[in-house]
Amino acid sequence: MLHFKKNDLCIEQVKLSDIAKQYGTSAYIYSKNQIIKNFEAYRKALGSKRGFICFACKTNSNGAILKLLAGIGAGADTTSGGEIYRCLKAGFNPSKIVYAGVGKTSEEIEYALKSKIFMFNIESFEELDAIDNIADKMKVKAKISFRINPYVNPDTHSYIVTGKKGTKFGIPYEDAVKAYLTAKKKKNVAIVGIHSHIGSQILNIASFKLAAQKIKKIVDAVEKNGIKLEYINCGGGLGIEYEEGQKVPDPSQLMLELFPVFDKDKKFIFEPGRSIIGNAGHMLIKILYRKISGGKSFLITDAGMNDLIRPTLYEAYHEIMPIKKTNAKKVKTDVVGPICESGDFIGKDRMLPIIEQGGYLLVTCTGAYGAAMSSEYNSRTLLPEVLVDGDKAVLIRKRASYKNLLLNEI
């Protein structure tokens, strides 16, 4: 939903220069209609009777965005008690909340049970014991799946691979059937399905298919033992187009490949995060100072690695563009932040037009894992967030103040 109207870059119908004036920078800006479009693509591909889509809310947990997704029928994929709390507050139906994570605490398990979530995705035998014991004390039955590590290594950054042998995630592939047989004997759990999530920013459907084929083998073996698995949870992980020309599969292509792997009576859960919110959000930043040093051109901006950690943590590429059309000469530029670390950059060696001091840049496709992974490092206050719908831009999170920095200190 980014486009130029004459010389101005707009998100939906709103000029980014107007947002900068109204809300200041740096700031995260989201397109409501892009979020809806992305979600609808999943929903349409899945169909209404074959299961449901759980937004992976770790990608972006702003309450207004969660509320929007809950309102159009999304479920939620959560990874902590805090996320379950946010999702309930935002109006998600608990019967569409799933909960994964290798380290669920007793408090979190108790909270999830009390909240009557749809299911736990269990990642170890000891976690199964813990859930069974807590459910027993609470006199409830916990609905569960096991997250199985299918030992599939998708082609993506090593920090965001989860389905490979030797990672901490899920039940080891060779122990999968044993996990179900152990759970069958537990009084306080009800087995609902099976889960796997192999990684993130995956552009190759073959990895998803291979994982599904390996999961199918487990489903068959488990069902031979009289345990019915109603839901196949395929996790998230579909990538987005960060760089122009990157080939990105869409949800219908993914499902077309995965559905035939399983029997027709199976229901599915998908847990997309990045592919729902990634290209719907962008970070608007201002050029504070410019300098040439060591023969290199630097733009020093008001956003640092605390606001967007992806470039330095994953060597991630986000396109950076001026919000005004210009014919100025392009030079190789590093776009950096104000923090005293050489890892504090937004983009390196970018061909950018020479822009005046005080000009603005848009760091695109930062809706997923942008604001969500930001921190107050260097005692920098968290950014405001703005949601655009047509010609309206509404503040959905205030810029934090210095007082916020001290909020919980004693």
> Which positions are annotated as active-site residues?
340
Q: Indicate which single residue of 197, 318, 350, 380 sits in contact with ligand LLP (rule: CB under 6 A).
A: 197
312 binds ligand LLP (CB under 6 A): no
Site string for ligand LLP, 37-66 (x = CB under 6 A): -------------------x--x-------
The only residue of 237, 322, 367, 384 in contact with ligand LLP, by rule CB under 6 A: 237
Restricted to residues 64-123, the positions that interact with ligand LLP (CB under 6 A) are 77, 100
Closest separation between CB of residue 325 and ligand LLP, Å?
A: 30
Closest approach of ligand LLP to the CB of residue 196, in Å: 9
Number of residues located near ligand LLP, criterion CB under 6 A: 21
Tell me whether residue 127 or residue 271 sits nearer to ligand LLP (CB atom). 271
Binding mask 348-367 for ligand LLP (x = CB under 6 A): --------------------
Query: With CB under 6 A as the contact rule, which of the stretches 32-40, 175-183, 265-273, 387-395 interacts with ligand LLP?
Result: 265-273
Shortest distance in whole angstroms from residue 329 CB to ligand LLP: 33
Our CB check for ligand LLP shows the closer of 235 and 337 to be: 235
Dihedral of the alpha carbons of 117, 34, 396, 113, in degrees to the nearest 10: 0
Residue numbers at the binding site for ligand LLP (CB under 6 A): 56, 59, 77, 100, 160, 197, 200-201, 235-238, 271-275, 310, 314, 368-369
